[in-house]
Amino acid sequence: MEEILTSLSTYGYFILAYYSLGGGMLALIGAGILSSLGKMDIAASILIATTANAVGDNLLFYLARTNKEAVQKYLKKHKRKIAWTNLLMRRYGWMAVFLQKYIYGVKTLVPIVMGLTRYDMRKFTILNIPASIIWGLVVGLISYYFSDFVRNLAG
């Protein structure tokens, strides 16, 4: 078990960065738990996850904007999620950028669907950066302090 934790603490930041490009909630929760165990640094984990998440969402938006035909081929299986994403965007507008960070199953579709529409890329980027920062702080700190709380409660 100690060998696995050492391996995760060694490669954890790379795994976190890679996984956060497309979502990253589980990776950030894992990094928060490992940080509470002293195997990773919570500030570095939040910074890496936040940066990768913002870059990943902007990349998805850009790819959808510039390669509409290629992207639409892959979305045929997800018609229900796309309809729900469009409803989310119509109902909440710019808040959809913030909300999508916490909804499993649509968090990668919102930037893609917004990229397929006429949504302004600068506006998306301006909204996405603070949304990623808030997401990183909320998920990272809750997982860090909650795992610390559970450990203290159990111990």
For 22, 47, 61, 73, the CA distances from 69, given in Å and listed in that order, are 21, 34, 14, 7
Share of the chain above pLDDT 70, in %: 94
Q: What is the pLDDT of residues 72-84, one digit of tens each?
A: 888 778 778 777 7
**HSE value, Cβ hemisphere, 13 Å, CA-based, for 95:** 5
Q: What is the pLDDT of residues 26-73, one digit of tens each?
A: 889 989 988 988 889 999 999 999 999 999 999 999 999 998 888 888
Report how far residue 52's alpha carbon sits from residue 71's, in angstroms, rounded to the nearest whole number: 21
Report how far residue 111's alpha carbon sits from residue 103's, in angstroms, rounded to the nearest whole number: 13
Q: Write the DSSP string, 64-131.
A: HHH-HHHHHHHTGGGHHHHHHHHHHHHHHTTHHHHHGGG-TTTTTHHHHHHHHTT--HHHHHHHHHHH
